[in-house]
Amino acid sequence: MLLAEHRRAWAARWESADIAIEGDEDLQLATRLALFHLMGSAADHGEAAVGARGLTGHAYRGHVFWDADTFVLPFLAATHPGAARAMLEYRVRRLATARDAARAAGVAGARFPWESADGGDDVTPRSGRDRAGQVVPIRTGEDELHITAQVAWAAALYIDWTGDEEFAAGPGCELLAETARFWASRIRRDTTGAGHLYGVIGPDEYHEPVDDSAFTNVMARWNLRRAAEVSQTCAGVSGDERRHWLDLAESLVDGYDGRTGIYEQFAGFYGLEPLIIAEVAPRRPITADLLLGRERVRGSQVVKQADVLMLHHLVPDEVAPDSLVPNLEYYEPRTAHGSSLSPGVHASLFARAGMTDGAVAALRLAARIDLDDLTATGAGGVHLAAMGSVWQALVFGFAGLRARDDRLVVDPRLPTAWSALDVRVRYRGTAIRVRVEPGSVRLTADGGARVEVAGEVADLGAGVSEFALPDAARGAARLREG
Ligand code: IFM
């Protein structure tokens, strides 16, 4: 194929993926670098295993983590769905291995591995050397169970964005049902009937193992509920099983305190040393366990990466209404951003909370992780999940896009320093360009789509629709269509 044809094919393939940030050239450039790597990370069909560093470096031996399902896949589902489907196919083809892993652990359903390669069994190393050269045990392969819910979450997000009914009724349903069965048999009920998950690791790997990780419990709850909903239209799940899932979901404790509006990260977190990493570290991101020692960090409230806050990002309908701001205020100064996955999630949430200065600062960190080698781990390859988090912060956070029920929700927050944010996505087969300017949002679609813009529901046809955004809290008034 000639170079010009290659270019045309590449442009056609990715026409729904560009992002323009008008008013911030540095962020624009860094964002395009992230898009470039994300675009190159997955195949269009067959199955695609996306390692934590893609194909750019040796770190983590190319293994696939939740980085793929949670951070990279959403970009593909919303811009180039065939590639997202290929990533899901990687999981679908390893479902039998995940079932074997569950059986070997004495539980039902399917248990996906924390780190996987070609075979689909768990390949997490059992020990490693930390940056000070000390040999340390690695327990994530045994205990970081939330990966199983992330696979289900990725399948559901793909269904929500694409409306792929064949996948939803077939392999998607199977993934959701088998992951729900895993949680159903792993939950233990105490004498009061409350459900618990003991001995797990949440995203914050500084604390391991813990009981009742709010993140893991709420993701498991979401998994059980979503499986009960989706499996109504697919074979193999009885009404009794669905009711059992819903009952267990209801029973799970989640550490939420209605008086403070805060989720306790895990049972006993509040009793740890109240060390605020933002006050003691010279800068963030910081590898807090290296700075302060593993044991000190383990006994303190220093959080490695977005943990409770990941819930507000991934499953906002599953957390208590109005709990974003209190949790952001509580956990943000406690978070070291010791993982590159973290600042982009904070950026997205700051944007959702309307705190756009904090959002831009966090986004800048996420976007410059590889450019400035902020974690000094760049030699191992680029941090694909961080790049995915940059896209998510811009599209889910600032532009406020979300596939919810039968519609695409658009609820933007534009920082004052930006004159416009222009993003492109593909929602249920329709290419949609979303241009946010101060006070307005313009949607250009190449077909039909139901949208909800700051509270107002509208059915778009092909063409341009403009909505006023007089005040994000008060909603939008439609200006013109055509
Ligand atoms: O998946 C991540 C994890 O959340 C933190 N440590 C690195 C892994 C691979 O990027």
What is the per-residue pLDDT for 240?
Answer: 97
- Residue from 416, 456, 459 nearest 438 by CA: 416
How remote is the C-alpha of 262 from its chain's centroid?
Answer: 20
Q: Is 251 contained in some domain?
A: yes
Q: Is 482 contained in some domain?
A: no
CB atoms within 10 A of CB 1: 8
What is the per-residue pLDDT for 482?
Answer: 43
Tracing tokens 């074997």 back to the chain, one arrives at 100
Please report, for the domain that includes residue 66, its CATH number: 1.50.10.10
What is the per-residue pLDDT for 471?
Answer: 66
Tracing tokens 């489907």 back to the chain, one arrives at 85
Q: Is 222 contained in some domain?
A: yes
Ligand 1 atom nearest 53 alpha carbon: 10
Ligand 1 atom nearest 304 alpha carbon: 5
Q: What is the DSSP letter of 196?
A: E
Does ligand 1 come within 6 angstroms of the Cβ of 71? no
Q: Is 480 contained in some domain?
A: no
The residue range of the domain holding 352 is: 2-474
Does ligand 1 come within 6 angstroms of the Cβ of 206? no
What is the per-residue pLDDT for 473?
Answer: 33
- Residue from 480, 388, 318, 300 nearest 54 by CA: 388
Q: Is 481 contained in some domain?
A: no
What is the per-residue pLDDT for 116?
Answer: 98
Per residue of the chain (482 residues), give pLDDT as tens: 578 888 888 788 888 889 999 999 999 999 999 999 999 998 989 999 999 999 999 999 999 999 999 999 999 999 999 999 999 999 999 999 999 999 999 999 999 999 999 999 999 999 999 877 889 999 999 999 999 999 999 999 999 999 999 999 999 999 999 999 999 999 999 999 999 999 999 999 999 999 999 999 999 999 999 999 999 988 899 999 999 999 999 999 999 999 999 999 999 999 999 999 999 999 999 999 999 999 999 999 999 999 999 999 999 999 999 999 999 999 999 999 999 999 999 999 999 999 999 999 999 999 999 999 999 999 999 999 999 999 999 999 999 999 999 999 999 999 999 999 999 999 999 999 999 999 999 999 999 999 999 889 999 999 999 999 966 533 344 444 44
Catalytic entry in 205, 208, 452, 466 = 205
- Catalytic, 205? Answer yes
Say if residues 51 and 380 touch (Cβ distance below 8 Å).
no
| Residues forming beta bridges with residue 195, ordered by sequence position | 189, 252
Does ligand 1 come within 6 angstroms of the Cβ of 51? no
Tell me phi and psi for residue 21, to 5 degrees: -110, 105
Q: What is the DSSP letter of 70?
A: I
For the chain, what is the domain count?
1
Q: Is 183 contained in some domain?
A: yes
Does ligand 1 come within 6 angstroms of the Cβ of 245? no
CA 156–ligand 1 middle distance (angstroms) = 22
What are the E-state strand segments in 88-216?
127-129, 135-137, 188-189, 195-196
CA geometry: angle 81, 83, 88, nearest 5 deg:
95
CB neighbour list of residue 359: distance below 8 Å, 6 or more residues apart: 347, 348, 349, 350, 351, 393, 397, 398, 413, 415
CA geometry: angle 306, 269, 218, nearest 5 deg:
55
CB atoms within 10 A of CB 281: 17
- Residue from 126, 139, 142, 115 nearest 60 by CA: 115
If you compute the radius of gyration of the chain from its CA atoms, what whole number of angstroms results? 22
CA 65–ligand 1 middle distance (angstroms) = 7
Protein residue with its CA nearest to atom 7 in ligand 1: 339
What is the per-residue pLDDT for 61?
Answer: 95
CB atoms within 10 A of CB 258: 8
CA 339–ligand 1 middle distance (angstroms) = 6
Protein residue with its CA nearest to atom 9 in ligand 1: 52
Q: Is 479 contained in some domain?
A: no
Q: Is 229 contained in some domain?
A: yes
Tell me phi and psi for residue 119, to 5 degrees: -75, -25
What is the per-residue pLDDT for 4?
Answer: 86
